[in-house]
Amino acid sequence: MSSSINIKSYRLYKATAQLKKPIADATHTLHEISFLVLRLQLENGIIGESYLLSFQYSPAAIRGAFSDLLPLIKGYAVNETGKVYQKLEDVAEYFGNQGVNRWVQSAINIAMWDAWGKYLGQPVGKLLGTYRDKCAIYGSGGWISYSVDELVEEVTAYADRGFRAVKIKVGSADWHTDYERLKIVRNAVGNKVNIMMDANQGMNLPAALQLARAAHELEIFWFEEPLHHQDFDGYQALKQQTGISLAMGEREYDTLALVQLLERKAIDIWQPDLLRIGSVEKWRESASLANSYHVPVLPHYYKDYDVPLVCSIPNGVGVESFDWIDPLIDNPMVLKDGYAFPHEGPGWGFNFIDDYLTEIPL
């Protein structure tokens, strides 16, 4: 293989989306919507790009992980994603293969796929194979910190844009509050829009049971992360006692939780997070495991990566949508009539606009 596709250099940047005021779910208050953008340059000049969602959390730690790991990948051919993944996995083992090192490992992998697709002149999705040309998309938000008016404004805006499903945050101090807000959302969007609820691990089992039972009449499509992500017996009890569809996976750095929940018949939708699971390859491995149990995949957050990935697997059913990066990139994803369409350009098909980037010294 020509040395022209070897990784020559790298740069790290920060971008920030506009946030009028802090937003909160059951377990976090977000004061900043920010992203770390990695660019890898090959010997031939091609630049592969990736990004991760960072919020305000641990900026020194994640910057340090980039500083530690990026020098190790220089000289590798951009198609050697497996070799680089294993190299970084071995290096990170002493302090643990989960956490900030895994995020950097994933960002490197995603940027390598972007550069490889650009070198070949093909979208990443086409390199992986195609099962479908579009996938369903749902509007996410519904923050607990929203007033009722803000909540209604957001969900009706999604419906007006053609979205056929919306997701609402739950996990208030009193589950009755969540139920009342869900009723308001149902009245606002009608019966033709699916509603999901997401507790971000912020509930205990008794409250989750009560809310799931009460919400049955509202035809809630699924209940996401009601409990701590390792409370496998709790998920089993919730499933057995209410029958509600359960979605989980965004907190996972491997497939241990998926295996545990599959064995208990306590998961209905697998939601891998591309930056936590480790790589495009590991994301697809987890999707394959879910498929062997006939469990659909609907991943967490990264729609501009997830749409082509979901379209490349047999059990991909949809993606989550936030608009946060759309004003910051050169080619926002096409969304129409409740569907998302993969970017058509080579690599991932989009790049962050330079004017919105501030370089982070490494």
- The reply to whether CATH 3.30.950.10 applies to domain 126-341 is no
- pLDDT exceeds 70 at position 1: no
For the chain, the average pLDDT equals 96
Delimit the CATH 3.30.390.10 region(s) of the chain. Answer: 3-121+354-360
**168-209 pLDDT, tens per residue?**
999 999 999 999 999 999 999 999 999 999 999 999 999 999
Instruction: Tell me the CATH class for 3-121+354-360.
Output: alpha beta
Instruction: Give the mean pLDDT of 226-232.
Output: 97
Delimit the CATH 3.20.20.120 region(s) of the chain. Answer: 126-341
3-state SS record for the chain: CCHHHEEEEEEEEEEEECCCCCEECCCCEECCEEEEEEEEEECCCCEEEEEEECCCCCHHHHHHHHHHHHHHHCCCECCCHHHHHHHHHHHHCCCCCCCHHHHHHHHHHHHHHHHHHHHHCCEHHHHHCCCCCCEEEEEECCCCCCCHHHHHHHHHHHHHCCCCEEEEECCCCCHHHHHHHHHHHHHHHCCCCEEEEECCCCCCHHHHHHHHHHHHHHCEEEEECCCCCCCHHHHHHHHHHHCCCEEECCCCCCCHHHHHHHHCCCCCEECCCHHHHCCHHHHHHHHHHHHHCCCCECCCCCHHHHHHHHCCCCCECEEEECCCCHHHECCCCEEECCEEECCCCCECCCCECHHHCEEECC
**257-305 pLDDT, tens per residue?**
999 999 999 999 999 999 999 999 999 999 999 999 999 999 999 999 9
pLDDT confidence of residue 3: 80
